[in-house]
Structure 1
Amino acid sequence: MKNTPSQLKILSIDIGGSHIKATILNIKGELKMEYDKVATPAPASPENVIKAIQTLVKKFPGYDRISVGFPGYVKNGVIKTAPNLSTKLWADFDLAKKLTDVLGKPTQVVNDADMQGLGVVKGKGLEMVITLGTGFGTALLMDGHLLPHFELAHLPIKEGKTYDQYIGERALEKEGKEKWNKRIQKVFEILKTVFNYDTLYIGGGNSDELTFKLDKNMKIVTNADGIKGGARLWLNDDDSKTKRAIATPTA
């Protein structure tokens, strides 16, 4: 994608377990309108989510491209897993193509933590991004390059529990803030030992619930910061340092 037009407008969408958020960005990642959101429908089937997106963006100003962050494993715009929405409903659903057909603009879909990572990292060394929300999202970038996505949330951590089950939204609600924070501290020690990251960025709605002091190379970021990653998906290859399959409208 050479010579990306500087005036390009990008519809950036973040699909979450509780809400679907969207805004319009310029190619620099600057907001051209305030965020808007709707509740994630239940059941969160592809059809219901797409209808919710159509309703959400109906009165948005014009845009040229679409970027989507999705909570699961995404391969070339096709959903492979959706643990917090229903993998059974989403498996092998080509979300990029469907949104392109419905909204009429070229679309890229990536994992939500990956998109957040593109929006927040400084591009120096090994940077890790985690999201503490309905589930546990992770992304890794080296010198600004997005590395292959791993669903670390589904690794076991204790007594048959995965990271999702151990520190996800349900664990916070069930165990309470104090115990949940102790669990988070344990997870942070594991991440520090395993990845030896230069910087850890912590996003997601439950990052507000952290009560302990963070290391100097840890930084809390907002969902607003993360959704800006939608712009970097459309930079030319030399600038974006990432490459994704793009669904384009059919004639």
Structure 2
Amino acid sequence: MKTTPAQLKILSIDIGGSSIKGTILDSKGALTMDYKKVVTPKPATPEAVIESIKILVKDYPPFDKISVGFPGYVRNGIVKTAPNLGNDFWKDVNFSKKLEETFGQEAQVVNDADMQGLGVVAGKGLEMVITLGTGFGTALLMDGHLLPHLEVSHHPVSKGRDYDQYIGDKALDEIGEKKWNRRIKKVFKILKLVFNYDYLYIGGGNSDLLDFKLDKNMKIVTNADGIKGGARLWQDEKHTVTRTAMATPTKQ
């Protein structure tokens, strides 16, 4: 029996520098089960990550589509950079194709902050999503539509350091929470000035370390909220920027 859009079950995976999380969503993005996680393999080669996902989902119920949030620059399912997993392992890897060959279902792979953005934004105006974790992730959406991904994390921010180096996990470990929070305040001022967002959503494992009051148009969101974005990836009319054009040519 053919599955209707309302009956779709979507495997939604979030790949991070320390763990790989997954759940099954319905077509509206509701979790049909609690999300589970496994440790990200080291080295995190494409083959090792695929094996970890297989272990993660081995007892999951059946699913029809696959959505993956990936920690790097992805275009049309092909990874260009993966700084926290290993650029040399991942350059020009068609990860969507590898997933489809492994699981036999259509797959989409996008930047992890982009997928989190789809799961948390209100869909009104210019909304920005950032993730504070192993590195610094960003996503921009206009009226709920994903805008082309920018690797803001690799833009210099202070003394030749990029955002990953300035406020990522390694920096947090080196300088401690108090100084890290001062740096985060500086970053927030830059983002507000540069992007003029209507709303800023803050995710990632380190977001709960923030020790200062946020502006009214700023909000902390959870990984569980973000993983819901895997369902919204399959709304073709909204997110063609994440893959090659799929529209049927108009007859002349």
TM-score tier by shorter-chain length is over 0.9
How far apart, in 1, do the equivalents of 2:208 and 2:43 lie?
27
How far residue 245 of structure 1 moved from its aligned partner, in angstroms, is: 2.9
Q: What secondary structure sits across from 1:6 in the alignment? A: helix
How far residue 234 of structure 1 moved from its aligned partner, in angstroms, is: 1.1
Structure 2 counterparts to residues 189-228 of structure 1, below 5 A: 189-228=189-228
How far apart, in 2, do the equivalents of 1:73 and 1:4 lie?
32
Aligned counterpart, 1:89: 89
How far apart, in 2, do the equivalents of 1:100 and 1:108 lie?
9
Structure 2 counterparts to residues 1-251 of structure 1, below 5 A: 5-237=5-237, 241-243=238-240, 244-245=242-243
How far apart, in 2, do the equivalents of 1:18 and 1:97 lie?
24
Q: Unpaired segments of 5 or more residues in structure 2?
A: 245-252
Which gives a bigger RCO, structure 1 or 2 (Cα 8 Å, sep 6+)?
1
TM-score, normalisation: structure 1? 0.94
How far residue 5 of structure 1 moved from its aligned partner, in angstroms, is: 1.4
List structure 1 segments (4+ residues) > 6 angstroms apart after TM superposition: none
How far apart, in 2, do the equivalents of 1:31 and 1:8 lie?
12
What is the aligned-residue RMSD (CA, Å)? 1.1
**Compared with structure 1, are the counterparts of its residues 4 and 203 closer, same or farther at alpha carbon in structure 2 (3 Å cutoff)?**
farther
User: For residue 53 of structure 2, what is the amino acid of its counterpart?
Assistant: I
Aligned counterpart, 1:249: none
**Compared with structure 1, are the counterparts of its residues 84 and 174 closer, same or farther at alpha carbon in structure 2 (3 Å cutoff)?**
same
TM-score, normalisation: structure 2? 0.94
How far apart, in 2, do the equivalents of 1:245 and 1:72 lie?
15
Q: What secondary structure sits across from 2:124 in the alignment? A: coil
Q: Is the Cα–Cα contact under 8 Å of residues 27 and 235 in structure 1 kept in the other structure?
A: no
How far residue 4 of structure 1 moved from its aligned partner, in angstroms, is: 5.9
Taking every aligned residue pair, what percent have the same amino acid on both sides? 69
User: For residue 99 of structure 1, what is the amino acid of its counterpart?
Assistant: L
How far does the alpha carbon of each residue in 1:159-181 deviate from its partner, in whole angstroms, 9 at most, with x for none? 11000000001111110000000
Q: What secondary structure sits across from 2:5 in the alignment? A: coil
How far apart, in 1, do the equivalents of 2:75 and 2:105 lie?
19
User: For residue 92 of structure 2, what is the amino acid of its counterpart?
Assistant: D
Q: What secondary structure sits across from 1:183 in the alignment? A: helix
Tell me how many residue pairs correspond in the alignment: 241
How far apart, in 2, do the equivalents of 1:154 and 1:229 lie?
24
Q: Is the Cα–Cα contact under 8 Å of residues 70 and 109 in structure 1 kept in the other structure?
A: yes
Q: What secondary structure sits across from 2:38 in the alignment? A: strand
How far apart, in 2, do the equivalents of 1:235 and 1:143 lie?
14
How far residue 236 of structure 1 moved from its aligned partner, in angstroms, is: 4.1
How far apart, in 1, do the equivalents of 2:9 and 2:234 lie?
10
How far apart, in 2, do the equivalents of 1:182 and 1:21 lie?
30
User: For residue 119 of structure 1, what is the amino acid of its counterpart?
Assistant: G
Q: Unpaired segments of 5 or more residues in structure 1?
A: 247-251
